[in-house]
Structure 1
Amino acid sequence: MDKKTTSRDGTSLAYHVTGQGPMVILVSGAMSTGRTVLPLAERLAERCTAVVYDRRGRGESGDTPPYAVDREIEDLAALLDAVGGDAALFGVSSGGALVLHAAASGLPVRRAAVYEVPYADHLAGGATREATYKEQLTKALAEGRRGDAVELFLRLTGLGEEMIQRARQSPMWPGMEALAPSLAHDDAVMGDGLLPRDRLAAVSVPVLAVAGGASPEWMHRASQAVAEAVPQGTYRVLPGQTHAVEPDVLGPVLVEYFAG
């Protein structure tokens, strides 16, 4: 990240701008930084000005306590001011939930798009699973067990135990543990893990909700539910894609949507 701005509460935010055309701010999901969505930003840069940033508590950005979802919306407001005040928003996974929160709050954005926000309404036992995760994550982070917190998240995503143990032994693990406290941020953004219908009804801008064709059925239904809950929603499926969507597949869809 080569630029800095400051949020309302004094938190330093690191960001990067690439390309030219309509402005789009990309919001990453859990266990990720702005660099995670940089390949997608580079794909958008063909016809859009793409902005990537480290959400608070990640990468080169600060993390002024206490945390609240409203502080992350203020972060987006600060970025909007820094890049000229006229932008659209895209968010992936829980980053998409933050985008929807921001759009519902009245943040002045042109339009929004999200990829597979993991609302668990259509997952069997989803509400119970989310409540258990929240309780265990809070306890692990309070006790300083960052590795256990990462394990809880990886298990929540469906990663098998053997793969989790391999991850623990990999060179990436220290970086994952460094991001562990931000899992509480994403958990707060997701709320109880269920679709916030009343909040989404307040979104006044067009929203594109995208899912991967190779993702689980409950994820498709969650994305479709987002499109149906907002006043101006569109639902789209990308054949063959999973939650780890390929930038070369998603990029052209977003360029068409944001740049027309």
Structure 2
Amino acid sequence: MLVHGTSSGRRRWLPVLDKLPGDRAYWMLDRRGRGLSGDQARYALSDEVADIAAVAEAAKAEEIVAHSYGAILALEAALELPRLRRIVLYEPPVPVPPCTPDPVDEANIAAIGAEVEAGRRDEAVTIFMRDVLKMPPASIAAVRGGADWQARVDLAATLPRELAAVRAYRFQPEKFRNCRFAVLLLLGSDSPKRYVDAMQMLAEGLPNARIERLEGQRHNAISEAPDLFSSAVGRFLQD
């Protein structure tokens, strides 16, 4: 099963779908507020976790590949999936202790929310990519020129709530002590320190976990280096 992150939907996986091992089916989930998936006024991380667990259970999924915020959700859902054997987590933005509020992050979230409220969704997505994800200008330009840009703009209203959920999330390693599934933590070699620290914390707190670096990449290897990403995932799934 494939679980996308913030500012995207199931189409996020199209650049790599035909490059992943072809001996299995891949369920591409649309999270809340995307595609045919419903939404509601109340938003909670726990509801999204329950969604993923329910779909994975219905699909009898033994493997999950997840990106960014979707990787946080998939990790929490894994606790409810006894049949799970492997999970790939590509740069989940897990807060690292002491988890004190960062004025810059607070300002970015406020700015994104203000742009959404003003109807400037294009600018809200740009702020998210530039100031939250720290994507370089060339990468942002490539996304803006891609087929999915308008879909990302249409989803801009989901950004503030998901960023707030990330900010409030706390990884609790004690919950995972008895988990048997193997974990591949994918990290771009050029990614910001916040991702490096988060992945190191997960590697230390999760049983059967290891980090693999994607050389020359940051948070967008699914689109910018699909062969490299798919190769790393494929080796892990077929190990």
Question: Structure 2 matches for 1:13-52, cutoff 5 A?
Answer: 25-52=1-28
How far 1:145 sits from its partner (Å)?
4.6
* Offset of residue 236 of structure 1: 1.5
Q: When you count strand as a share of all residues, which structure comes out higher?
A: 1
User: Letter of the aligned partner of 2:41 in structure 1?
Assistant: P
Deviation at 1:146, TM superposition (A): 2.9
Which residue does the alignment assign to 2:234?
Answer: 255
Residue 68 of structure 1, CA deviation: 1.5
The one of 126, 130, 138 aligned to 2:105? 130
Unpaired segments ≥5 residues, structure 2: none
Mapping 1:178-193, distance limit 5 Å: 178-192=154-168
Give the alignment of 1:54-203 within 5 angstroms.
54-83=30-59, 85-104=60-79, 106-108=80-82, 109-119=84-94, 121=96, 127-142=102-117, 144-154=119-129, 155-159=131-135, 174-192=150-168, 196-198=170-172, 200-203=173-176
Q: How far did residue 188 of structure 1 move?
A: 4.2
Partner SS state of residue 89, structure 2: strand
Q: How much has 1:164 moved relative to structure 2?
A: 7.3
Tell me which residue corresponds to 1:22.
none
Paired residues of 1:131 and 1:192 also in contact (CA < 8 A): no
| Alignment partners' CA distance in 2, 1:102 and 1:128 | 30
Asked if the contact 2:94–2:198 (Cα under 8 Å) also holds between the matched residues in 1, the reply is: yes
SS in 2 for 1:201: helix
CA distance in 1, matches of 2:201, 2:39: 32
> What is the distance in 1 between the residues matched to 2:167 and 2:142?
30
Aligned residues: CA RMSD: 3.3
Whether contact under 8 Å (2:2, 2:64) holds in the other structure is yes
Matched, 1:222 2:198: yes
2:65 counterpart SS class: strand
Pick from 230, 241, 250 the counterpart of residue 217 of structure 2.
Answer: 241
Q: Among the aligned pairs, what percent are the same residue?
A: 29
Q: 1:151 and 1:230 mapped to 2: Cα distance?
A: 33
State the Cα deviation string for residues 183-208 of structure 1 (Å, max 9, x = none).
13432441347xx232x431323321
Instruction: Measure how far apart 1:81 and its partner are.
Output: 3.7
Q: Aligned partner of 1:116: which letter?
A: E
Number of residue pairs matched? 229
Compute the TM-score of the two structures, normalised by the length of structure 1.
0.72
Q: Secondary structure at the match of 2:184?
A: strand
1 CA distance for matches of 2:154 and 2:21? 30
Bigger RCO (CA 8 Å, 6+ sep): 2
- Corresponding letter in the other structure for 2:174: A
Question: Aligned partner of 1:240: which letter?
Answer: G
**How far did residue 142 of structure 1 move?**
4.9
Look up the equivalent residue of 2:124 and give its one-letter code. A
Structure 1 residue runs of 5 or longer lacking an equivalent are 1-24
| 2:95/2:167 contact within 8 Å kept | no
On the 8 A contact 1:94/1:118 being kept in 2, the answer is yes
CA distance in 2, matches of 1:206, 1:151: 35
Name the CA distance, whole Å, in 1 between partners of 2:13 and 2:138: 27
Q: Scaled by the length of structure 2, what TM-score is found?
A: 0.78
Give, as a single letter, the amino acid of the residue that structure 2 aligns with 1:101.
E
Q: CA deviation digits over 1:107-162, x for unaligned, max 9?
A: 3332321111234549xx98333333334444544555534432331232235789
